Structure 1
Amino acid sequence: MTTTDETATAAASGASATDRFRTDKSAYDAVKDVPEERVDLLAREVLNSIYDTIRRHKVTYDEYNALKAWLISVGEDGEWPLFLDVWVEHVVEEVATDHRKGNKGTIEGPYYVPNAPDAVDNTIPMRDDEPGTPLLWTGTITSVDGTPLPEGKIELWHADDDGLYSQFAPNIPEWNLRATFHTDADGKFEIHTMQPAPYQIPTDGSCGKLIAAAGWHAWRPAHLHVKVSAPGHELLTAQLYFPGDPHNDDDIADAVKPELILDPKPSGDGVTVDYSFVLDPEA
């Protein structure tokens, strides 16, 4: 984890994301029963795609050696979670949830932290002088048949006005802009938070080298992360976006979907949003 005298570098953020992934996810346990035939199939198809690219574009030894050096640096920087979550996860999510009839989801990203504390008075933890625009969000969690879900839960996390996440950048309180919210007896919820800002993914590490070499941009549109759950229903992981953001159409993570764009309304010194969730029952 970063310390108070560090800046928010890609290496520090990447190391935090890698450590968090190792701590919170039993990646190997989840696939321990996958048959050898499937591993063989997937590995061979990925490798064959690489072979085809090399042959079609006549990749040189200099380019090959540059790739090796870059792959090594990605590991040294701890940026594999960032790389995979930005450029690969959106397709995995698409395949994994294409059967759902309820709300659309999107990627989790590398900065989720489980077990966020319950919100007090429906307000996310924040600093006394937290910058940004106050956001009041109301909605309901229901099942696909319209039944309200009184035991619904929303885990919410997002970047601050500087585009930084608590626990992945220095000088930010541990649970800043991270909390768990619960529905009432009618499946309704209310959330008080701050509207996040667009930000660039870290560019001072290996992923930044790829972005610069390819002439890409590093921007993500402003978004709220959520994990929405209820007993007997499939977990929904999503990001919610704001209209008018210049990077809704060219998000570097390719994670924006029309169904995930909010419709905020001005209210006092902030904005209000009404956005509800429909969850699919577990099979």
Structure 2
Amino acid sequence: MQLVTEDNITELAVRRWATARDPRTRELLTALVRHLHAFAREVRLTEAEWAAAIRWLTATGQISDDKREEFILASDVLGLSMLVVQLNHRLDPAATPATVLGPFHVDGSPELGFGGDMSDGVAGTPLYITGTVRSLDGTPVGDAVLDVWQADADGNYEAQLGEVDEARLRAKYRTRADGAYCVRTITPKGYSIPMDGPVGDLIRQTGISHFRPAHVHFLLAVDGYRPLITHLFQEGAQYLDSDVVFGTKQELVVAFEPREPGPTPDGGESAVPWVQARYDFVLQPA
């Protein structure tokens, strides 16, 4: 029997987890053990701190449900989500860059027609987001699905509002044969991430801003192309330089241009002032 000591515990644990049958699982778990042990040694982790971390992880799991992913939020604010995005989406510089998914995406959004209104009565200034979806070589990508979602004027996503009768500020759109799309929604506002859970408890112990700049989420999934999860950020918005989840990229910052009442990009008319943002998504072939 080999006695466990401070000097050999890491080697023993790595050796044990190296018995994983799947090579990738073996690589992940043995590396995790090495780095966890190295962290504990570096900071001289106390038993009280270890117990506090366990309680924090437990609370993070307890507050999470099918509409709130506190672990994703934790990953976001620690910069891990964005690092994983960068590692897995080393795209051509001409392609639209990816960013974080965020914790509030909801599957099964309804599909709307060209210029369909996903705000559907939610208060706010009308916003039309228009443009095209194209391949790297400029070829239009027709029938591409854009899954779009955003927060309301109070910074709340549908997933944060409990039970709602129908989809709220989320929808899917398809491009036309020429790659054109038109999204009708309301202008987004910057907002605070949820501060009522374990992640908020951590943030309050720091000088970190807990706000995100105004943005709209997009998820594009098209056969033959790399999937794209990204945002469009409002040019000049507050918090662009201090996004709490590290999601801002200059290429994704677009002008929100005010328009007077009159014709709108979907062929209709607006009786009130509205705003237009233009962006051409460029997809990288798979």
- TM-score past 0.5 threshold: yes
Contact 1:266 1:272 in 2 (8 A): yes
Task: Give, in angstroms, the shift of residue 141 of structure 1.
Answer: 0.8
1:277 and 2:281 matched: yes
Q: Which residue of 2 aligns with 1:61?
A: 47
Which of the numbers 209, 217, 222 marks the counterpart of 2:214?
A: 222
Q: Which residue of 1 aligns with 2:236?
A: 244
**Runs of 5+ in structure 2 lacking a partner?**
1-19, 65-69, 261-272
Partners of 1:99 and 1:170 lie apart in 2 by: 37
**TM-score normalised over the length of structure 1:** 0.81
1:1-283 alignment to 2 at 5 Å? 36-78=22-64, 79-87=70-78, 88-101=80-93, 102-120=95-113, 122-128=115-121, 130-170=122-162, 172-268=164-260, 269-282=273-286
Asked which structure has the greater RCO (Cα within 8 Å, sep 6+), the reply is 1
Partners of 1:232 and 1:68 lie apart in 2 by: 43
Secondary structure of the residue that 1:213 maps to in structure 2?
coil
Identical-residue share of aligned pairs (%): 31
Secondary structure of the residue that 1:231 maps to in structure 2?
coil
Secondary structure of the residue that 1:214 maps to in structure 2?
coil
Task: Give, in angstroms, the shift of residue 82 of structure 1.
Answer: 2.6
Q: What letter corresponds to residue 181 of structure 2 in structure 1? A: F
Partners of 1:173 and 1:160 lie apart in 2 by: 16
**What do the CA deviations read for 1:25-45 (whole angstroms, capped 9, x no partner)?**
xxxxxxxxx963322222232
Q: CA RMSD in A?
A: 2.0
- Runs (4+) of structure 1 exceeding 3 A deviation are 170-173
* 1:169/1:231 CA distance change after superposition, 3 Å: same
**TM-score normalised over the length of structure 2:** 0.80
Task: Give, in angstroms, the shift of residue 126 of structure 1.
Answer: 2.4
Q: What letter corresponds to residue 276 of structure 1 in structure 2? A: D
Q: What letter corresponds to residue 84 of structure 1 in structure 2? A: S
Q: Which residue of 1 aligns with 2:7?
A: none
Partners of 2:99 and 2:233 lie apart in 1 by: 11
Secondary structure of the residue that 1:164 maps to in structure 2?
coil
Contact 1:140 1:188 in 2 (8 A): yes
In our comparison, the structure showing a higher alpha carbon Rg is 2
Secondary structure of the residue that 1:137 maps to in structure 2?
strand
* 1:59/1:77 CA distance change after superposition, 3 Å: same
Partners of 1:173 and 1:260 lie apart in 2 by: 32
**Runs of 5+ in structure 1 lacking a partner?**
1-33
Partners of 2:242 and 2:34 lie apart in 1 by: 29
Q: Which moved more, 1:211-220 or 1:221-230?
A: 211-220
